[in-house]
Amino acid sequence: MSAELLDRALVEEAAKKSGLLWVRSDGGRDHALWHAWVGDAVVVVGDGGEQPLGGLAEGVNAVVTLRSKDKWGRLVAFRAAVELLTPFTAPWQAAVDELKTKRLNSLDHEGVTDRWAAESRVLRLVPQGLSVENPDAMPDSDHAAVPVPTAATTREPVPEGLPRLLLRRKKKR
């Protein structure tokens, strides 16, 4: 078997088994997305009340990273061409049919097709060439990213009376 066929088989198998992938569009940040494998490409749905797709758009080049199902570590990464699927065409319908089975906790399972057609984008991420990372060629870097700047905080001063409330013992009668 050729290296290209083995590489394509690894990408397909990893995409079919993992429910989560990371996508980085040209110069952007990695975004975790749930997805499905349809035909020869990964499909994702987003925006309009679904997962945010970040900078993904038709014609943009992206790098898709898939994890190992059993170890959850990075398994393979490949370059992908992004295609926007037109609602109610045959490729769009095939993608939506598969994505509906992967969509967890949908409030309107019966109406999700119409909602995705009206409000969301369904994108197809088609692998291009050999993978850029695979078990035989992993980078030395840890892929750590600086957290996104935000005004949100989780640390506030402890209210003055809280320690007494937490440490208060029941009085004996």
Q: Is pLDDT of 131 > 60?
A: yes
Mean pLDDT over 100-113 rounds to 80
Torsion angles phi and psi, residue 83, rounded to 5: -120, 135
Helices (H), 18-161: 90-102, 112-119
Residue 123 is encoded by which pair of tokens? 């994108």
Q: What is the pTM of this model?
A: 0.77
- 96-105: b (≥16 Cβ within 10 Å) or e: beebeeeeee
Q: Is pLDDT of 172 > 60?
A: no
| pLDDT score, position 92 | 92
Across the strands, what pairs with 34?
A: 20
Helix (H, G, I), strand (E, B) or coil at 4: helix
Query: Do residues 11 and 76 touch, judged by C-beta distance below 8 A?
Result: yes
| pLDDT score, position 145 | 72
Positions of E strands within the chain: 20-25, 31-34, 36-38, 41-46, 61-67, 74-84, 121-133
| pLDDT score, position 173 | 55
Number of Cβ atoms within 10 Å of the Cβ of 95: 24
C-alpha pair distances (Å), 26 with each of 54, 70, 110: 11, 30, 35
Mean pLDDT over 95-116 rounds to 84
Long-range contacts: 85-88, Cβ < 8 Å, 24+?
Answer: 85/43, 85/122, 85/123, 85/124, 87/116, 87/117, 87/122, 88/117
Please tell me the CATH superfamily of domain 3-145, with its number: Electron Transport, Fmn-binding Protein; Chain A (2.30.110.10)
Give the H/E segment covering residue 165.
helix 162-167
What digits encode the pLDDT tens for the residues 14-45?
888 888 898 988 777 888 899 999 989 999 99
Mean pLDDT over 93-110 rounds to 84
Residue 139 — very low, low, confident or very high, per pLDDT cuts 50/70/90?
Answer: low
Give percent of the chain with pLDDT exceeding 70.
Answer: 89
| pLDDT score, position 121 | 93
Q: Is pLDDT of 13 > 70?
A: yes
| pLDDT score, position 50 | 87
